[in-house]
Amino acid sequence: MDVSAVRRGIRDVAPLLLGVAPFGLVAGVAAINAGLTLEQALGMSVIVFAGASQLAALELIGRDAPLSVVVATAVVINLRMLMYSASIAPYFRSLRARSRSIAAYLLTDQAYALSVSAYRSEDAIDRLAYYLGAAATLWVVWQVATVAGALLQAGVPDALGLEFAVPLVFLALLVPAMEDGPTVVAGLVGGGIAVLGAGLPLNFGLLVGAAVGIAAGVASETTLPVGASDAH
């Protein structure tokens, strides 16, 4: 494995940790507030390892919602990773089955967005090494932050709105992903539809928005030029 690619993955993911760490803190606090033990809080972060779905599940658990609804909500939120899996899979085809199964476990919004953009701009990069550098770093920070949140609990004031750091990280990933006309259309339409659908149950607004955004991007190829315009 190419150590310099591991290091590049770690370096590229470092600024994103500023948003991931508060998110993990919030997940740890939410777990304790919902009545989970410290072991369960950490267990959830290790076993599920998907922040948005963890927060949604914890809120429902805290309200004693039916457990089938808890599971369904979390799974629907994570369905977006089906798209990540399909999108990153072509780059992982040369990996061994065991490496692929580990890479799948570590698949997150941030690891996905960073890696696909690195793979696109650089064909020769050691893909697994870069991916593990970014994804495993995210994993470690997520677990440490969850435990810290569970232990600090009351010491993390709600009013700070730390969970707002999460969409800011996604925004920082979104801007470079809008590289030409059709991708800008996909992002804006996906975002707009998701805003309109935010009230839908089970977070369907996210999935509907993403699906319509992708369709809009493809449709706009007939009128807008495809390819990096480097407009900014």
Partner 1 sequence: MPTSYADPLIWGVIAAIGLLTYLIRLSFIALFGYVDEIPDGLERVLRYVPPAVLGALVFPAFVTIAPGAGGLEADRLVAGAAAIGVAWWRQSVLATMAAGMGTLWLVRFVVLPAV
Residue 156 gets the label, from left (phi > 0), alpha (psi -120 to 50) or beta, of beta
For partner 1, which is the closer residue by CB, 3 or 171?
A: 171
* Shortest Å distance, C-beta 148 to partner 1: 18
For partner 1, which is the closer residue by CB, 3 or 151?
A: 151
Name the nearest CA neighbour of 50 among 135, 152, 149.
135
Tell me the CA end-to-end span of the chain in Å, nearest whole number: 35
For partner 1, which is the closer residue by CB, 29 or 193?
A: 193
* Shortest Å distance, C-beta 143 to partner 1: 14
135 close to 106: Cβ distance less than 8 angstroms:
yes
- Tokens standing for 69? 């609804």
- Which of the residues 150 through 209 are near partner 1 (CB under 8 A)? 159-161, 164-178, 182-184, 186-196, 198-199, 205-207, 209
* Shortest Å distance, C-beta 218 to partner 1: 6
Which segment (121-129, 131-139, 144-152, 211-219) binds partner 1 by CB under 8 A?
Answer: 211-219
- Which of the residues 34 through 73 are near partner 1 (CB under 8 A)? 34-37, 40, 43-44, 47-50, 52-53, 57, 61-64, 67, 70-71
What amino acid occupies position 226?
V
**How many residues lie near partner 1 (CB under 8 A)?**
104
- Tokens standing for 20? 């991931």
CB atoms within 10 A of CB 80: 20
Q: Angle 165-177/3-33 helices, nearest 10 degrees?
A: 140
For partner 1, which is the closer residue by CB, 3 or 195?
A: 195
* Shortest Å distance, C-beta 24 to partner 1: 15
CB atoms within 10 A of CB 156: 15
Q: Interface with partner 1 includes 115 (CB under 8 A)? A: no
